[in-house]
Amino acid sequence: MAILLGFIKNTEQMNQFIMGTYGFLLALLISVPEQDQVKELTDYISGGQLVIYYRSSYVTDNTASSITYIDFCPNGRYRYFYEGSYTVKGTQNTSNRNNRTNGAGVAENEGDWSVLKYEDHFYLEIIDYLGKKTYYLINIGNLMTGSWKQGNTSYAFATNQANCE
């Protein structure tokens, strides 16, 4: 699922996601009526899992990383699990340069998901357990590829891998 879950930060990134290079699903979506397009895309995403891995730096001693799993269940619900950690090394010019501070955290969320079409683009609508709605542009090219990278963030989507029990 080439869902760009909220990581569009500027117009260039948005254009990259809109202009995906894989046209099979797009051609399929264009050749069917609009309601069927949404259903086809929903069926493709349903039961899939999106994994997002982030690492802040491969160069410095100060690092942060996280992994997020988002399961898109066939019943229209999603499950979200996040785990992150960081390490900060003391500065080289002080006596504590070998001291480090570390931290870690986890988060879970769930709610409802659906696919919408607006002005010739597809969006993922997420409604969290508090009722907050968020919309994410779906990139069909990335969806068909199954994995992509943007900066220090790697994304992978696999059909039929959702953990919905």
Domain map (residue ranges) of the chain: 11-141+150-158
**DSSP state letter for 3:** B
Q: What is the largest CA-CA distance in the chain?
A: 68
Q: Which residue has the tokens 């029990």?
A: 165
As given in the structure block, the two tokens for residue 61 are 């001693």
Report whether 37 contacts 29 (CB < 8 A).
yes
d(CA 162, CA 87): 31
Please state the pTM of the whole predicted model.
Answer: 0.71
pLDDT averages per 10-residue partition of the chain, 165 residues: 41 44 44 74 95 80 85 96 82 61 86 93 93 92 88 92 91
Question: CA-to-CA distance for 37 and 108, rounded, in angstroms?
Answer: 31
70, exposed or middle or buried, with CB in 10 Å at 0-12, 13-18, 19+? buried
Question: CA 114, 8, 160, 107 torsion: positive or negative?
Answer: negative
The residues near 10 (Cβ < 8 Å, ≥ 6 apart) are: none
What pLDDT is stored for residue 76 in this prediction?
Answer: 96
pLDDT attached to residue 20? 42
**pLDDT number for residue 120:** 87
